Structure 1
Amino acid sequence: MIDPTASNPTTGQPASVSSLSRLNADYQSFLKLLTAQVANQDPLAPMDSSTFVTQLAQLSQVEQSIQVNANLADISARIAGAVAMSDVQLIGRTVTVPGDQIVTPTENTRLSYQLMQPADTVSARVVMDDGTILRSFEGLPGTSGQSHELNWDGRDDAGLPVIGEGPFRLEIIATDAEGESVPYNSYTEARVESVIFGSGVPTLVLDNGSEVSSSLVARVE
């Protein structure tokens, strides 16, 4: 579903229109003042017109800048609209996104991780909210700069199917040769339930309760 309370992405346009209106009023006032001064000037001591020419040029530059900003705002709104419609097509699809939440395990629950630096030892485990370990994985790849997939068959360490829904959580334990923890990013699969719009930015609402930007989607099923 699409959130009906979403804001319109074209919020920048009225500001540009208002600025142009104010500039036009100032421009008209300036022309009236210029006309009055020229009409009442002393023929024997004519006014220096260079100052008025400079001010006219400055007004023209401001007008052009406001118009450029208005055009850019319009282009930005159109792009945001196109991205929003593309995100709507993700509703009901399964996506891989950054996170550690697993809602309903299947026979082929695909998980993955990426290490920020090389690790000497890497293991993973799927745990319940209370910390109970359901499944452990040892001897995982420790190279950095690439995604490592981890397939979970939905069974615990005893080989029994995990009954019930989560959310369960994926934990990665990675250490270097000195035993120091290595930072990582984990990725899990989730189904897109809806798209909401806040400040013109589309956000995907997933069935694991999280909300992410579509720009963070690593894979779509």
Structure 2
Amino acid sequence: MTTDPTALSAASAAAAGSGTSVSSAASASLSADYEAFLQLLTAQVANQDPLEPMDSTTFVSQLAQLSQVEQAIQTNSNLETIASQLASASSFADVALIGKTVSLSSSSFELGESGGAELSYRLADNASSVSATILAADGTELRRIEGLPTSAGEAHGFTWDGNDYAGLPLPPGRYEVEIRATGADGKAVSYETFTQATVDSVVFEQGQSLLSLDNGETVAASSVRAVE
């Protein structure tokens, strides 16, 4: 009698689907293995030939294997408990973000009633020229800001006043920012854009913290790049 790893894997998959912890499912499977092992051992002892008693070495070896599996399951159970506690502590720590202004890795941002938006970007490599283009939700180009910093490795901030090319204020709503960075070789330089928003509340779902922002977005706490 040996413990079948495939059976334990199936138990793990069933646990994931039912919400039961993997260690609990594995422990239940191991308990069944122990019971079957003892039944088999009892049957063989009861029916052995007294003149040729069975070799107990195999049973001792299999019992040792079951004990090792049991210890591994207990270790996994302890690790699951620790991971759950750490996740809970991290989630409650995210509550401190409520009311804070955070920078997020995103190209989408909200233009408020007051007009203007604070944006930033980070280049992967140094560039010879950098500009930012403000786009409407449908992709229409509304404004381009030229002469932005070209160095890599740090976040560069810039402000859009909320006006279009004609100097007319645009209505509040959702807009996109696109960075156009060109290297000395004429090739495009990759980048990451950041936008700012204020955290209104924190929602806990499926073991992670989701931040509800004042611009109407809900994002994972892990997407926050900086807190002001």
Match of 2:129 among 121, 126, 129: 121
Secondary structure at 1:148's aligned position in 2?
A: strand
- 1:155 is displaced (CA, Å) by 5.4
Shift of 1:98: 0.8
Deviation by residue 1:140-197 (Cα, 9 ceiling, x = unmatched): 221222211223455566766x353121222211112343222211001012244444
Secondary structure of 2:181 counterpart: strand
> Secondary structure of 2:193's match?
strand
- Give a deviation string over 1:26-64, Cα, whole Å, max 9, x none: 213322332343344333222111100111011111111
1:170 corresponds to which letter in structure 2?
V
Q: 1:97 maps to which residue?
A: 104
How many aligned positions are there? Answer: 209
Unaligned runs of 5+ in 2: 1-17
5+ residue gaps in structure 1? 1-10
1:133 to 109, 119, 142: 142
The answer for the alignment partner of 1:110 in structure 2 is: 118
Matching residue of 2:193? 186
Higher helix share: 2
8 Å Cα contact 1:120/1:175 also seen in 2: yes
For 1:1-221, what aligned pairs fall within 5 Å after superposition?
13-105=20-112, 109-129=117-137, 131-134=140-143, 136-154=144-162, 162=169, 164-221=171-228
Amino acid at match of 2:82: I
Matched position secondary structure for 2:147? coil
Q: Is the 8 A contact 1:92 1:192 kept in 2?
A: yes
Q: For 1:99-127, what per-residue CA distance to the aligned partner results, in whole angstroms no more than 9, with x for missing partners?
A: 12231355874311011222111112334
TM-score of the two chains, using structure 1 as the length reference: 0.79
Question: Secondary structure at the residue paired with 2:40?
Answer: helix
* Contact 1:122/1:174, CA 8 A, preserved across alignment: yes
Q: Is the 8 A contact 1:90 1:192 kept in 2?
A: yes
Task: From the superposition, tell whether residues 193 and 74 of structure 1 become closer, same or farther in structure 2 (CA, over 3 Å).
Answer: same
Change beyond 3 A, Cα 1:70–1:140? same
Residues in 2 aligned to 1:35 and 1:60: alpha-carbon distance in whole angstroms: 19
AA of the residue aligned to 1:129: A
In structure 2, distance between residues paired with 1:59 and 1:203: 42
TM value normalised by structure 2: 0.77
Is the contact made by 1:128 and 1:166 (CA closer than 8 Å) also made in structure 2?
no
Give 3-state SS (helix, strand or coil) of 2:184's partner. coil
Give the 3-state SS of the residue equivalent to 1:112 in structure 2.
strand
CA–CA separation in structure 2 for the residues paired with 1:191 and 1:83: 19
In structure 2, what is the Cα distance between the partners aligned to 1:92 and 1:157?
A: 34
CA drift of 1:12 comes to: 6.2
